[in-house]
Amino acid sequence: MPAHDVLIIGAGLAGQRAALAAADAGASVAIVSKVHPVRSHSVAAAGGINAALNPEDSWESHAFDTVKGSDYLGDQDAIEVMCREAPEEILHLEHMGVTFHRSPTGTLGTRAFGGASQARTYYVADITGQAILHVLYEQLMRYHERVDRFEEWFTTDLLQDQQGACVGAVCRNVRDGRLEVFDAKSTILASGGAGQAFRPTTNALICTGDGIAQAYRIGAPLMDMEMIQYHPTTLAENGFLITEGARGEGAQLFNAQGERFMERYAPNKLELASRDVVSRAEQTEINEGRGFPDGTVSLDITKVPRRRTLEALREIVNIGRDFAGVDITRQPIKIKPGCHYIMGGVKTDVDGQTPIAGLYAAGEVACVSVHGGNRLGANSLLDTLIFGRRSGQHAAHRSNQLPMPSTPDSRVAETQAGIDAILARPPGGRRISDIKTELGETMNSYVAVFRDAAGLETAHEVVRRLKEEAAVAQIDDKGTVFNQDVLGAIELGYMLDVAESIVVAAKERKESRGAQYRTDFPERNDEEWLKHIDVARNGDETPHVSYSPVTITQWQPQERTY
Amino acid sequence: MPDYTLRLRRYDPSSGQAPYWEDFTVDLEGHRSVLEGILQARGDTDGTIGIRCSCRAAICGSCGVRINGRPGLACHTHLDEALGRDHSGEGVIEVEPMGNMPVIKDLIVDMDAVHWKKIRRVTPWLLGREPIPEREYIVPHENMVDVTQTMACIQCGACVSDCLSMEVDPLFIGPAALAKAYRFVGDPRDAEPFERLKDLAEDKHGIYDCTHCFNCIEACPKGVAPLSQIMRLRRRAGSDFEIEDRNNGLRHEHAFVENIRRNGLLHEADLLPDSYGGKFHPRAVPELVSSLPVVLKALQRRKVTPAKALLHQHKAEPAVKKIYDIVEGRDQRLELNLYVAGDEADLADAPAVEETA
């Protein structure tokens, strides 16, 4: 039975960074991931990572841009921590081996990004997430004696002791179906976002909100769940991402009449306004009949010199060619806003601690909250690394003072019984894929760029019905080896819990701020709503809403224009 | 929408049954991916179908398979393109697990047992030059763009699947791991390029174990071109560091170059002795003796004849010499790289991206 000081669930950037930090701090570490670490969705982060590293830039400027981007919902103490520590983290990555592209003088190169007052985005072509993820995995291989890797192990439950502290997890080896108790003094959730609750989405099939739901089920509060980022440039047919780096390099947006419409919505920053602003502008153009018949507008990357595109935007050249049949170096590509990122998540402090003792969260699964109502492009990689590292360090130090907990092996019987019940379902239920499709389409219809009370109520009703249907959904695979059917049933349950908390929070916030735009409450209302919405279960199945204050240090809310 | 028949290779290790083929009909447009087809079959018909997948967009590297005989990503292969490769005349899309790796279930292979083990063989992390600078290492932009081609590898295993050298020698370090090695050798921040190259040149299963079949270049969905990276490792080892390996790899390569300089066409009978320093070199004798079975086979198959072998008259054309003069007259070696595209002026008339990929 594995027992470690620190157990990390999820092996994307946050998880791997946490593992390395905890090991460096002297802890014994296990990292568990339902997929091989390099398959984690961090791999898809394209454009870059923000840091005020140039001498003429300042962390305060980066922090202010982030606060403004968040529509003043981000906690400024946490944003200060992230932006202050960003330059050191970039240099650490560089020394570790990340192949950041350079300026002509050989120093680290930057590109412009949305919502930023300076070009402070460091990048590796448009595979920045992949490059960092693979380099961190290189380090994990190097640390093989200090970090135990459990690749393709699926976490089913978090474990709690008598006092309610988190003391590890139960995980299932995907390869043979075996359940194990993982004892741990501290547990860090780093299992990413929940984009699969929407359809289409830029998110990978593995982004099913596992960690958010696992924490929620043992009573951890979720925060800012209503804040779902719709990325301005996704492909209409399949939701694939066209990086913001394209606009950072000079690409422009046009409506069907050939008008560069961002001039009307954000006369100063144009295409490089915050994502919520650009997505709303596009959706307005489309809704008011100035889009193309297929509900899109166009992104013209031919404005970028071809050599530069081939060198620095290679991946979207491939995406355009292979998934849309378009040579982006020769012609515009049609795009629209699409579900991309969840600003909300498990509520944590700046060391990744959740209100549940022993349970940490970092990365997209968490809500510190550094992104508030809207995340700036290239701040998510930074978030994963800064708070992954801080969680790993804090958890390691905390573990120094604690005895190793021991959950009896018999605990797996409880989880096994749950899995057996899924396997024993009588035939005739709805198909899992069918329920998932309805969930995703419902969320994308009613919990998207524009929302209103009636639509949110409809979404809530659908989600509640789907929960009942999911409980008896059809299972074909009764086996133990790579039973993806049964894991899919568990993931569907996670997604539905997350979806419900999103809808409940969106219904609650009766104003428009960041990614939450209520057509029935179109103004931002600082007097009543400059506060976080927390959603938690209080020992029952129902989501309960409460509020927590937004931390303001030096930037008072102002009108937000770009 | 048209129907496509997917013929999937099924295998359930707990059943005790041998692998078998099973057909599924899916209803999708031809430009949708084979992965979408498989997921439709799994979602609508049979939830037991096993395939790893995640991003759907050729970024995560999970869904490496063989489709109508060719390795690649299921998400990166259009249904109509896959059908176009069907030579059975049955109009089906056959999907089977990748080669050179043991199958776990259906389309899922054990990458850890082969692929990742080989990656770990090449010391796959940067050995940073000392002293570590306070800020970043100052290195040329061109070098970082250059190694981006190997950083672009998504570890999908498609190249490993169809590596012919690995089929013959399972211990061959292989295309993916050697491409990974170039990522460090080509990185000016690495302190030990010589040690890395020496290691890979001296290893019997290292850089000289590749037989240039080009399968890895064909297989790679990301344009990493592993073979090109292996050749670059050889050029760095041989030309830059002059590493004379015990596998005779470097001399064999020189023998090739000189053989063609002399003859214009490859004169196989000379190649072997030249690789060991000429027919009369002391090192060549035992090698020639041990190579007798190969020589006999070549004679038997009339690849060489005694007359041609001994009385060879072929002379290189002046045009061949000109090629050598041009290439050897350059100040710098030209290396092809996906991310390095030439000047803007060259690109104006360049073919569309579809054609260059």
* DSSP designation for A474: B
pTM given for the model: 0.95
Average pLDDT along chain A, 562 residues, taken 10 residues at a time? 96 98 98 98 96 97 98 98 98 98 96 95 96 98 97 98 97 97 98 98 98 98 98 95 96 98 97 98 98 97 94 92 94 97 98 98 98 98 98 97 93 96 96 98 98 98 98 97 98 98 98 98 98 93 96 97 94
List of residues 6+ apart from A194 with CB closer than 8 A: A203, A207, A208, A209, A212, A342, A494, A495, A498, A499
A94 touches chain B (CB under 8 A): yes
Q: What is the pLDDT of residue B331?
A: 85
The tokens 């049933």 sit on which residue? A489
Put simply, whether A427 touches B (Cβ < 8 Å) is no
Cβ partners under 8 Å of residue A325, min gap 6: B31
Residues of A in contact with B55 (CB under 8 A): 39, 41, 43-44, 204-205
SS (H, E, C) A240-262: CECCCHHHHCCCEEECCCCCCCH
Mutation site, A49, A98, A102, A302, interface B, largest B CB count within 10 A: A102
Residue A294 in contact with residue A330, Cβ under 8 Å?
A: no
Are A482 and B50 within 8 A, CB to CB?
Answer: yes
Do you know the residue count of chain B?
A: 357
**Cβ-nearest to B125 among A36, A139, A434:** A139
Between positions 101 and 130 of A, the ones with CB within 8 A of B are: 101-109, 124-125, 127, 130
Which chain B residues in 22-81 lie under 8 Å from chain A, judged by CB atoms? 31, 39, 42-44, 46-48, 50, 52-62, 76
Determine the residue of chain A that is closest to B353 in CA distance: A327
Q: Which residue in B43, B46, B54 is closest to A206 by CB distance?
A: B54
Bridge partners, A49 (sequence order): A122
Cα B315 to the center of its chain, rounded Å: 33
Set of chain A residues whose Cβ sits within 8 Å of the Cβ of B52: 35, 39
Amino acid at the residue A91 = L
Contact check, Cβ <8 Å, B128/A95? yes
Interface pTM (ipTM) of the complex?
Answer: 0.96
Start-to-end C-alpha separation, chain A: 55
Non-local CB neighbours of A59 within 8 Å, separated by 6+ positions: A52, A80, A83, A84, A86, A87
Best CA proximity match to A479, nearest among A175, A153, A179, A34: A175
For the question of residue A247 being annotated catalytic, the response is: yes
Euclidean distance between CA atoms B193 and B233, whole angstroms: 10
The per-residue pLDDT for A35 is 98
Q: Helices B141-151 and B175-185: crossing angle, nearest 10°?
A: 160
Tell me the angle at which helices B226-235 and B193-202 cross, rounded to the nearest 10 degrees: 110
pLDDT at A15: 98
Active-site residue flag, A275: no
* A403 in contact with chain B, both atoms CB, cutoff 8 A: no
Q: Which ranges of A509-555 does DSSP label H, i.e. alpha helix? A: 526-529
Residues 131 through 160 of chain A touching chain B, CB cutoff 8 Å:
131, 134-135, 138-139, 141-142, 151
Interface with B, mutate which of A207, A484, A490 (most B CBs under 10 A): A484
Please judge whether B57 and A44 are an interchain contact, meaning their C-beta atoms are less than 8 angstroms apart.
Answer: yes
> Contacts of residue A241 in chain B, CB cutoff 8 Å?
57
Dist CA B174 CA B176 (whole Å)? 6
As a whole number of angstroms, the distance between CA A140 and CA B151 comes to 17
Contacts with B112 from chain A: Cβ below 8 Å: 151
Is A432 in Cβ contact with B47 (below 8 Å)?
yes
Task: Name the residue among A357, A22, A319, A298 with its Cα closest to residue A167.
Answer: A357
Closest CA in chain A for residue B138: A106
Within 13 Å and on the Cβ side, how many CA atoms surround A292?
A: 14
- Which 305-344 residues of chain A touch chain B by CB within 8 A? 305-307, 310-311, 314-315, 317-319, 321-323, 325, 327-330
If you search the block for the tokens 């570590």, which residue do you land on?
Answer: B132
Instruction: Answer whether B81's CB lies under 8 Å from B93's CB.
Output: no
Give the DSSP per-residue string, A408-429: -TTHHHHHHHHHHHHHTPPTTS
Give me the residues of chain B with pLDDT under 70, please.
Answer: 308-313, 341-357
The DSSP annotation for B63-108 comes to: -EEEETTEEEEGGGSBHHHHHHT--SSS-EEEEE--SSS-EEETTE
Q: Do β-strands A179-189 and A166-173 pair in parallel, antiparallel, or remain unpaired?
A: antiparallel
Distances (CA, A) of A18 to A13, A92, B5, B336: 8, 14, 45, 38
Q: Do A314 and B152 touch (CB under 8 A)?
A: yes
Ramachandran region, residue A531 (left: φ > 0; alpha: ψ -120 to 50; beta: rest): beta
Within 8 A by CB and 6+ apart from A462, the residues are: A438, A439, A442
Per-residue pLDDT at B356 = 38
Give the number of C-alpha atoms closer than 13 A to the C-alpha of residue B230, restricted to the C-beta side: 26
Residues 211-230 of A with CB under 8 A from B: none
Cβ-based neighbours of A191, under 8 Å, separated by 6 or more: A9, A10, A15, A34, A155, A210, A211, A214, A365
Per-residue HEC secondary structure of A306-342 comes to HHHHHHHCHHHHHHHHHHHCCCCCCCCEEEEEEEEEE
Tell me the pairing of strands A228-234 and A333-342: antiparallel
Give the C-alpha separation, A473 to B230, whole Å. 50
Closest by Cβ to B43, choosing from A103, A317, A431: A431
Residue A537's H or E segment, with its range, is: strand A531-537
Beta carbons of A76 and A552 less than 8 angstroms apart? yes
Angstrom CA distances, B309 to B94, B251, B268, B269, B320, stand at 46, 20, 8, 5, 22
Measure CA of the first residue to CA of the last residue in chain B; give whole Å.
29
CB contact under 8 A, B148 and A99: yes
Of the candidates B326, B333, B42, the one whose C-alpha atom is nearest the C-alpha of residue A433 is B42
**Candidates A247, A389, A390, A509; catalytic one:** A247
Using the Cβ of B281 and the Cβ atoms of chain A, whether some distance falls under 8 Å is answered with no
Determine, for residues B341 and A310 on separate chains, whether the beta-carbon distance falls below 8 Å.
yes
- Counted across chains A and B, CB pairs separated by less than 8 A come out at 196
- From the list B60, B136, B353, the residue facing A329 with the nearest CB is B353
Q: Does A204 touch chain B (CB under 8 A)?
A: yes
The DSSP 8-state label assigned to residue A401 in this structure reads T
Is A29 in a helix, a strand, or coil?
strand
pLDDT at B348: 62
Which residues on A lie below 8 Å from B120 (Cβ)?
141
CB contact under 8 A, A476 and B47: yes
Among A4, A62, A111, A231, the one annotated catalytic? A231
Which H helix or E strand runs over A464?
helix A453-470
Look at the block and give the residue holding tokens 């393709």: A152
Whether A482 and B342 lie within 8 Å, measured CB to CB: no
Q: Out of A96, A102, A307, whose CB is closest to B343?
A: A307
Tell me the sheet residues that pair with B96. B66
User: CB–CB of A318 and B340 under 8 A?
Assistant: no
**Rounded CA separation A335/A333 (Å):** 6
Q: How far is CA B222 from the centre of its chain?
A: 12
Report residue A121: phi and psi, to 5°. Answer: -100, 115
Strand partners, B7: B23, B94
